[in-house]
Amino acid sequence: MNTTLKPGLWMLLFCILMLSACSASSEPSQPAAASSGESEAANPSLTKVKIQLKWVPQAQFAGIYAAKEKGFFAEEGIDAEIIPGGPDVVIEQQVVNGAADVGITGVDSLLVSRDNGLPLVSLAQISQKSSYRLIAKKSTGITSPAQMKGKKVSTWFGSQQFQVLAFMEKNGLDPKKDINLVKQGFTMDQFFNDQVDVATATIYNEYHVVLESGMKESDLDVFNIEDAGVGMLEDTLIAKKDWVDSNHEMAVKVTRAILKGWNYAIDHQDETVDIVMSHVTEGSTTREHQVTMLAEIAKLIRPEGFTEKQVGSFVQESFARTADIALKYGLIKKAANLNEALEKSVYEEAVK
């Protein structure tokens, strides 16, 4: 039998084989198991919501990562895109410009932004206490705020220095005249190298960076800004006012998922640190540091006496103090209208 094919038949057979190969290669791979977060992203029926973090991935945002990984966003019909922040990211601008639907920022920054005309509101108050500490080495001899006079004091600039300025004023120091205020970098090198006498540290991050360097608590004098009565509320969940008005139900759902994520993170810290570590840049941190960070941040978000339903709540006294300090020390030009700044109905519906 003659098995030689004519050129036209060869071409037809070649096309059939190629079509078969393309069809086979286009079949989606079937992983053995997919995480809730992966399933969320793959579901076209979910509504995309962009969430802007105020800094790089770390346990400070553990509740948001937990909400995605454990499927809490998906349960609310949300495909959450978590956008990392960084030193050059202005969260308020990201939200106002529509690059993100919701974001995490400090209450002081929210009030300043509103004072400057940006139509932003808070959906829930994530942290309930100030994390700020001022630290000095014992070798400086600074054992009281009064002894900071004439010294180099470093803090972060932008929208983050306000608590430190208020602390100085509260203790009778003029931050413009009595101290040498130095811009603090995003490492503690200035403190380690004795370039400054007093540095700013959050209790969940920089303070433990110092301890992890080999210094002991007994080597330091620590000044707690919250205890000084000038603590300002920090991490808060924000959105653009018109977005909330047009997407009220979605705002409630996002808030509910994030609060559920935070309660899960606080109750399952070891597991949640693993989730966080899957998002951090390799070599940028250690698991041990993130364990400490989550343990400390949990105390700020669900402090002693708080129930799960109170996570994210608006404590009027704390907001009033924050707003009063902002006005008293010139951070805002006019008194903040907290009734307009806080979208209480979103939080209230989220925790029903």
Q: Report the CATH number at residue 323.
A: 3.40.190.10
The total of structural domains in the chain comes to 2
Q: Which residues of 322-335 are buried (b: 16+ CB within 10 A; e: fewer)?
A: bbebbbebebbeee
Residues 220 and 237 in one domain: no
Q: Which residues of 84-103 are buried (b: 16+ CB within 10 A; e: fewer)?
A: bbeeebbbbebbbeeebbbb
Query: What's the pLDDT at 211?
Result: 96
Residues 42 and 190 in one domain: no
The range of the structural domain enclosing residue 205 comes to 132-224
**Residue that is last in its domain, among 169, 202, 224:** 224
Tens-digit pLDDT profile for residues 77-134: 999 999 999 988 999 999 999 999 999 999 999 999 999 999 999 999 999 999 999 9
Alpha carbons 352 and 350: distance in angstroms, whole number: 6
Q: What is the mean pLDDT of the chain?
A: 89
Q: What is the pTM of this model?
A: 0.82
Residue carrying the six token digits 């995490």: 104
Determine, yes or no, domain membership for 183: yes
**Residue that is last in its domain, among 196, 224, 252:** 224
Mean pLDDT of 140-151: 97
Instruction: State the amino acid at position 278 in one-letter form.
Output: S
Determine, yes or no, domain membership for 43: yes
Q: How far is CA 33 from the centre of its chain?
A: 29
Residue carrying the six token digits 């932008």: 158
Structure-block tokens of residue 34: 């997919």
User: Does residue 191 surpass a pLDDT of 80?
Assistant: yes
Mean pLDDT of 33-50: 69
Residue carrying the six token digits 């000044």: 223
Determine, yes or no, domain membership for 45: yes
Query: What's the pLDDT at 25?
Result: 35
Determine, yes or no, domain membership for 1: no
Residues 97 and 161 in one domain: no
Residues 241 and 193 in one domain: no
Determine, yes or no, domain membership for 6: no
User: Does residue 174 surpass a pLDDT of 90?
Assistant: yes
Determine, yes or no, domain membership for 26: no
Comparing 39-48, 67-76, 131-140, which segment has the lowest mean pLDDT?
A: 39-48
Query: What's the pLDDT at 38?
Result: 52
Residues 209 and 346 in one domain: no
Residues 68 and 215 in one domain: no
Contact yes or no for 233/107 (Cβ under 8 A): yes
Residues 260 and 331 in one domain: yes
Query: What's the pLDDT at 117?
Result: 97
Query: What's the pLDDT at 27?
Result: 33
Percent of the chain beyond pLDDT 90? 80
Residues 300 and 179 in one domain: no
Residues 219 and 240 in one domain: no
Tens-digit pLDDT profile for residues 147-159: 999 999 999 987 6
